[in-house]
Amino acid sequence: MFQLSRQTVSRHKALYVGSFVALAFGVFMLGLAATATAATIAYRGPLGAVVKVTTLGGQDTPPQRVSIRTGAEDVSGLQTVLSMVGSICGFITIFVIASTFAFAVASRRRELGLLRLIGATPQQIRRMILGEALVVAVVAALTGAFFAHLATPLLLAKASYSELAPVKLEPASPWLPLSIAMAVGLMVALLGAHAAARRAGRIAPIDALREAALEPPRIGPVRVVFGVLFLVGSIALLALIRPSSGEAAMPLAMFTPMLLVIGLTLIAPIVVPVLGRLWAAPLVAWTHVSGRLARSNIVAAPRRSASLAAPILTISAIAGSMVLSLSFAADSEAASLRDTMIAPIVVPGGSAERVAATPGVAVVDAGLPVQFVRISTDYAELESAEGIDPAVATRTRDLTPSKGDLSRLTGNTVAVSKEMAGFERYRVGSKIPVTFLDKTEVKLTVVAIVPDAFGLNPSFLVPADLARKHAPAAQPERLFVLPAAGVDAAELTGRIDGAVSARAWEAAQADGLRKGNEFGLILLLGPAALYSAIAIANTLLMGSLQRRQEFTTSRLLGATPSQLRRMVLWESALVGATALSQGAAITVTVGALVRYAMTAGLSDVPITIPWGVLLGIGGVCLTLAVGSALAPASYILRVVNRETAVHQGQ
């Protein structure tokens, strides 16, 4: 059977070049992420910048000794980004591979039926398809790993001394990370081919005798149930987790669209014909034949259409959801900043004493930034805190605690943000063991739970004296200033060196946040988008190359080349529109739920929809889809033209 697999692969080159390119590129991306992660793990910073602590241990977890890197040479940002890039690429790979194999099986119905007819058992067919997947996957994984190895030094050179890894990174031993990437690639390929193989096993011998290679449109009830479960489950997930910051929304905006995509794909044979008909309505009305033909081709073979649409659906849903959610996150953060801020004047980086000496200044809130390692049951983490004078800070910002009392913030105490308290189940009276960077271990008692205000307060507030004691060199990053009674804020702002109005400062903060988000999105989605572009072109190219027979027949029936070209144009546009409308639905769902969760308790939250980016994503997908269907179709039509000319000449 394996020999047969090898021979059939070489026959269906067009089908398998597609799977090969998709998988090789997927393994390449995974390999790069893995080697770069290995480089960050292998990186050894200066010894002094490490705090060693012992975790508390829980019921099943023994206490552990961990080293927490502090200061500038932190590379965990890069590690986080790499793991997210890796998982997006892994997901897209499994999706693209599954759909290319599904497509390959659907277009080979007759051939597989013939094999069944001359005595292949369903199991033999399944093994053959899996064998084919293995042949392609082994070659693709090796190729991808090889190129990843070549590209690693380039990536590390680019990543070194960047915002995410402010150090010099050297390539580590490539064997382990590349083996992992290859193993993941092989697994993904077999997993992706599994469903296709099962469907192939169900092809009946009689299919060899049927002229039309049309698939039965029915789908099993199990599939529908799972599809609906995935859809409902991911919406429930979004509604329950309720992210309250951009940082928490990012992974959610990345993973829930994946689940929604899986759900929609499972019920694609139901959804695609409906959407296809809907989008085709104007086409049928405007065109003579081509629109009608395109509609029948899409509607009659929903699985084939769904396979073609899969990469577009995947990337548009993930990219759209992330872009929209992060924009909404920035909106709500701007609103929460505005709601929390009381002081009308901000002095970034000013001297507290000098500002306090300025006539007309009533109160200067000079919070001191301080860091400590917070120790939990099974992990420890470097946290940012602010040392405040509660009597002053409660006048310049809204710190009204939901529980506890801020006036008790003296000595070894801490006030915790509502979100952090929710994550860690901290209550008033809880004791949090921490180690300050001067290596002193302290148990902080929680005295209050305060509202979240990202960009204004960190998750932990400690007494200013405590901060000064453990970080004597700390200087305030910004001062919040209240004018004395009767003093005009704008006039006072003019008299303080470097002072800006609170509104201007908030706008600048929100701006910075959006810029940071943009950078993160480009980093996360850039490789995925590139990959998807290849996958989209790949799938449609593959689909068009299969249609020579059909084009020949249509030409002989009297269809002109331009009619056929228009049909292909409308058809690929319909595939694109079907996929993009599903992607848009996912984007809106995820965006709306994230926004709903984040804006709870806030009023007048601005709505910023990044239309340019969203429409750009759609436009690029559509252009790619149409272009990569039309190019091979035109080529085939030229060949067919020559052939039919010869026939007619005889």
Partner 1 sequence: MTAIAPSYPSTPQASAPALVLDGITKTYRSKAGGVDALRGVTYHFPRGSFTAVMGPSGSGKSTLLQCAAGLDQPSTGAVVLGGVNLRGLGEVALTKLRREEMGFVFQAYNLLPSLTVFDNVALPLRLTGKRPNRNDVLGVLEQVGLGDKAKRRPAELSGGQQQRVAIARALITRPSVFFADEPTGALDSNSSRQVLALLREATDRAGQTVVMVTHDPVAAAYAERVLFLSDGLIAGHLDRGTPGQIAAAMSDLER
Q: Which residues contact partner 1 by CB under 8 A? A: 1, 3-4, 7-8, 10-12, 111, 114-124, 204-206, 208-209
The DSSP output letter for 206 is G
Query: Could you tell me which residues come within 8 angstroms of residue 574 by beta carbon, excluding any fewer than 6 positions away?
Result: 276, 279, 280, 283, 294, 295, 298, 305
Residue 404 sits at the vertex; the CA angle it makes with 401 and 409, to the nearest 5 degrees, is 90
**Cβ distance to partner 1 smaller for residue 4 or 500:** 4
| Residue whose CB is less far from partner 1, 3 or 603 | 3
CB of 115 to partner 1, least distance (A): 8
Enter the tokens of residue 496. Answer: 């303080």
The residue (of 9 and 89) whose beta carbon lies closer to partner 1 is 9
Counts of helices then strands in the chain (DSSP H, E): 20, 13
CA dihedral 321, 327, 330, 334 (to 10 degrees): -140
In this structure, what token pair is assigned to residue 210? 């049927």
> Which residue number, 16 or 279, has a Cβ lying nearer to partner 1?
16
What contacts 601, CB < 8 A, 6 or more positions away? none
Alpha helices in 480-501 (DSSP H): 489-495
Torsion of CA 541, 545, 547, 552, to 10 degrees: 130
Q: Give me the amino acid identity at 356.
A: A
**Residue whose CB is less far from partner 1, 132 or 571:** 132
User: Which CB atom, from 127 or from 470, has the smaller least distance to partner 1?
Assistant: 127
The β-bridge partners of 461 are 386, 415
Measured CA to CA in angstroms, residue 480 lies from 334, 347, 393, 501, 503 at distances of: 17, 7, 9, 10, 12
User: Strands 413-417 and 65-69, how do they pair?
Assistant: unpaired
Pairing of strands 441-450, 413-417: parallel
Judged by DSSP in three states, 388 sits in: strand
Q: Nearer to partner 1 by C-beta: 203 or 361?
A: 203
396 phi and psi angles, rounded to 5 deg: -95, -25
Please identify, using beta-carbon distances, which residue of 142 and 204 lies nearer to partner 1. 204
Q: How far is the CB of 128 from partner 1 (least distance, A)?
A: 10
